[in-house]
Structure 1
Amino acid sequence: MGFHASERQHVGALYWAAFGRKLQVGFPDAARGEAFVTDNLRADRMFVARVDGEVAGVCGFHAGGAGAAALTWRGLRDKFGWTGAIRATVALAPLSRAERDGVLVLDGICVDARRRGRGLGTALLAAAHEHAAGCGDREVQLSVVDTNPRAEALYRRLGYRVVDEGSMGSLGSLYGFRRYKTMRKRVAR
């Protein structure tokens, strides 16, 4: 669980590479968006996979009202002013996932492109299940977008089932995906 302060930039680059396309709509430009997200990543809300001592993948989760990145109104306002904070809040709202009682809600799973296909995603999900069991949660929930069929296939192989589907409607081209699925898996006891 967690990353070291010296790993923040690497974790931020990895997270932004995976999710920047949909997050950048909330920021004046990609560079400032990546910097803000990186600065506000929460080590206490991330599982980390390392290979040879280097971060190779991360899996964020929601707990205590916060996800992997603390994109708070105050932080956004202090950095981008009122107008920028309003823009970010409105633009990022459709991407938010609420916590649910008895369910560990994941907030982004990403593996370095050079390290994919080696079981790191599976290991991160196993860590999430172990954490959920330790917290007394009954299920683990994640979302997957229609532009990532490889991830969806992994989740299905691991026993996740679709519990909901949604559409971004006319906003799909803005975020880089049109549809998403919410998937859950029971926590082994």
Structure 2
Amino acid sequence: MTEPTLHRGIPTDADHRVAELYWEAFGRKLGPALGPPERGRAFVAAHLRRDRAVTALLDGRVVAVAGYRHEGRSLVGGTAAQVARVYGPLAALPRLAVLALLEHRPGPGLLAVESIAVDGALRGRGVGTLLLAELDRIAAEHRYDGLTLDVVDTNPRARALYERHGYTVRHTARTPWLRRPLGFGAVTTMVRPLPDPGR
């Protein structure tokens, strides 16, 4: 396989492709907040923050995306008012509550890796590792001490990838009440320290 090329940001006219990958990876979790799928993908595409992404391209097509949180801004935005405008004022309230549950708040000095989504046909071929390495570089450029991410108990493959890349467990929160609506019953926060660059 030709190795994908990395691109910081989202290429022009690739918003819907990024939203498709994002929903493929996280639709089970996001469904109660942004579903049904067609509407959810449209919401994600309309509220992408292009400067909070790293994408991987193969033959000019986006095959993977990683989103991160920096200076309070994440890959997928959308205010409460925007959610209410799309889904209606009353329906927005429970949706906003679900989104608040899913939000990752990094500790001080840590860049939050909020999402990694890889085309199903390319999983297991090193694309996730390429994205994680680029996120390391972004964290170092912004002088973070390390990176942090959350992984759910139903995604052992992702956790194994993060462990191979040097992430270790900080803590696990048991969330059995979320298993039925969101599809997972525990969330593990992992951290990867970066070498001190001499500052």
Note whether the superposition's TM-score is higher than 0.5: yes
Question: What is the alpha-carbon root mean square deviation over aligned residues?
Answer: 1.3
Deviation at 1:23, TM superposition (A): 0.4
Mapping of 1:126-145 within 5 angstroms? Answer: 126-145=133-152
In 2: Cα distance, 1:116 partner to 1:28 partner:
25
**Amino acid of the structure 1 residue aligned with 2:53:** M
| Equivalent in the alignment of 2:92 | 85
Q: Deviations over 1:111-163 (max 9, x none)?
A: 11111122110110011100000000001111111111111111111111000
Alignment of 1:90-129 (within 5 A): 90-129=97-136
Which consecutive segments of 4 or more residues in structure 1 shift more than 6 A?
none
C-alpha distance in structure 2 between counterparts of 1:50 and 1:27, whole Å: 27
CA contact (8 A) 1:164 1:183 kept: yes
CA distance in 2, matches of 1:28, 1:135: 34
Task: Report how far residue 52 of structure 1 moved.
Answer: 1.9
Q: What letter corresponds to residue 175 of structure 2 in structure 1?
A: M
Specify whether residues 5 and 166 from structure 1 end up closer, same or farther in structure 2 by C-alpha distance, changes over 3 A only: same
Amino acid paired to 1:186: P
Identity %: 37
- Unaligned 5+ runs, structure 1: none
Q: Does 1:155 align with 2:155?
A: no
- The normalised TM-score by structure 2 is 0.90
Q: Counterpart in 1 of 2:4?
A: none
Between stretches 117-126 and 167-176, larger displacement belongs to 167-176
Greater helix percent: which structure? 1
How many angstroms does 1:84 deviate by?
A: 2.5
What is residue 179 of structure 1 aligned with on the other side?
A: 186
1:12 matched to 2:28? The reply is no
- Once the two structures are superposed, the pairs formed by residues 36-115 of structure 1 within 5 Å of their partners are 36-115=43-122
Give 1:6 shift: 0.8
Paired with 2:102 and 2:43, the residues of 1 have a C-alpha distance of 17
Letter in 1 for 2:178: L
Please state how far the C-alpha of 1:8 moved relative to its aligned partner. Answer: 0.7
2:151·2:158 contact (CA, 8 Å) conserved in 1?
yes
Task: Check conservation: 2:68, 2:74, Cα contact below 8 A.
Answer: yes
Separation in 1, partners of 2:14, 2:25:
17
| Alpha-carbon offset, residue 28 of structure 1 | 5.2
Deviation, 1:85, is 2.1
Larger mean CA deviation between 35-44 and 127-136 belongs to: 35-44
Count residues in correspondence.
189
Aligned residue for 1:4, secondary structure, equals: coil
SS in 2 for 1:5: coil
State the partner residue of 2:176.
169
